[in-house]
Amino acid sequence: MYISEYMTSDPITISSATLLPEARQILNEYQIRHLPVIDRERRLIGIISDRDLRSAYPSSVTPKSNALLTYAQVEKTSVEDIMTTSCSTLSPDASLDDALIIFDRDKVGGIPVVSEEEVVLGIFSLLDLTAAYRKLFGVAEEGSILIGIEDDGRENILSTLVTLLEYNNIPLTRLIRLSEKKKVAKIFMRINSLRPVEVFKLLKSKGFLLLEP
């Protein structure tokens, strides 16, 4: 699955000369958290987030006299002064794994998607990543059930499971095997069934050990 399928295309952007109050108003008006900053050719030169703006404004515990001075300074400050310029980016054909690595490494909430010429094409957020993985793993699909099974080491256990479910007309939509060092491997499969109890009984009757919560 590629970023281009889930990113927000043609996102709202601003120039580096945009003043902080205007940037804040845009974020609030469109209920977004990130604004790519571009030059006249729409090439990415930075990004500003709602967190950046919160840091620029005085906090609720700032003495009133100091707060007024800070507000006066903020009114004259442009995005260029506080934006992040060394931001990570993604290409439209990057994978969800690529995005996950960046989110985990950089601790950011949104990643600009750019062309080879650094032109902004979209933005990919943590919410977009969540939506993509929900679809990938079939979460919230009608009749969808996630079942965990202990890998007991029997030969061809995955093909055995697939054959068993197909023979009993139980739709299998996802199948994952997780192996960790010094731990018993686990198999997770997602099926579509309105009779989960019968599926559990079938698996147990064939000697499969279901994982308990």
pLDDT of residue 71: 67
pLDDT string in tens for the chain (213-residue length): 899 999 999 999 999 999 999 999 999 999 999 999 999 999 999 999 999 998 887 776 567 667 667 767 888 899 999 999 999 999 999 999 999 999 999 999 999 999 999 999 999 999 999 999 888 888 877 888 999 999 988 899 999 999 999 999 999 999 999 887 777 889 999 999 988 999 999 999 999 999 986
Alpha helices in the chain (DSSP H): 20-30, 50-56, 64-76, 96-106, 126-136, 157-167, 196-205
Number of domains in the chain: 2
Do 88 and 117 lie in one domain? The reply is yes
Q: How far is CA 9 from the centre of its chain?
A: 16
In this structure, the dihedral spanned by the alpha carbons of residues 155, 156, 157 and 161, taken in order and rounded to 10 degrees, is -150
Is 0.85 topped by the overall pTM?
no
Q: Under a CB-based contact definition with an 8 Å cutoff, are residues 39 and 45 in contact?
A: yes
Q: Do 109 and 31 share a domain, yes or no?
A: yes
User: Is residue 71 domain-shared with residue 114, that is, in the same domain?
Assistant: yes
The reply to whether 113 and 149 lie within a common domain is no
Task: Please check whether residues 197 and 128 belong to one and the same domain.
Answer: no
Task: Output the pLDDT for position 61.
Answer: 59
Residue 107 main-chain phi, psi, to 5 deg: 55, 50
Residue numbers of the domain that contains 53: 3-135
Task: Work out whether strand 172-178 and strand 144-150 pair parallel, antiparallel, or are unpaired.
Answer: unpaired
